């Protein structure tokens, strides 16, 4: 099923093609393509996760599998982790993507603390007041944990 799904992604000849499968034996497949939008977060993996969560009516996708033509970028990898997806299949890796003009190495360096961003200047404001919101969250009896 893995090779078939990746091959199906390749047959579409689209970069940024992902599928989420859920259910017994692969069950339902929700394809997602990244194209035709100006939303910088609408990567195929994100779109597939959004569609699967909407279809299933939940954010826990730990029983789902994600298939992608390429290794997810840091944003998508974070979303995959947040969704609880435990199995990810992909074809091309981040180095292949960089060769195609999709280079996230700078983001990896930012995450490792080995680079500074000339575009982003984080400024912490009202930390105590904002951090207190987590205390309020933890005190809620009806909260839903991720």
Catalytic annotation present for 45 = yes
Total count of residues recorded for the chain: 146
Handedness of CA 55, 29, 102, 81 (dihedral sign): positive
Q: Which residue is catalytic, options 45, 112, 128, 136?
A: 45
Name the maximum alpha-carbon separation found in the chain. Answer: 52
Active-site residues: which are they?
45
């Amino acid at each position: 099923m893995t090779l078939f799904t990746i091959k199906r992604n390749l047959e579409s000849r689209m970069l940024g093609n992902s599928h989420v499968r859920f259910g017994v034996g692969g069950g339902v497949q929700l394809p997602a393509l990244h194209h035709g939008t100006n939303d910088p977060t609408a990567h195929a993996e994100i779109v597939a996760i959004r569609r699967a969560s909407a279809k299933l009516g939940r954010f826990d996708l730990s029983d789902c599998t994600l298939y992608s033509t390429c290794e997810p970028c840091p944003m998508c990898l974070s979303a995959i982790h947040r969704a609880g997806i435990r199995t990810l299949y992909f074809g091309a890796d981040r180095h292949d993507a960089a060769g195609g003009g999709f280079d996230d190495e700078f983001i990896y360096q930012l995450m490792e603390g080995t680079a500074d961003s000339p575009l982003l200047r984080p400024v912490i404001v009202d930390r105590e007041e904002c951090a207190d919101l987590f205390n309020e969250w933890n005190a809620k009896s009806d909260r839903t944990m991720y």
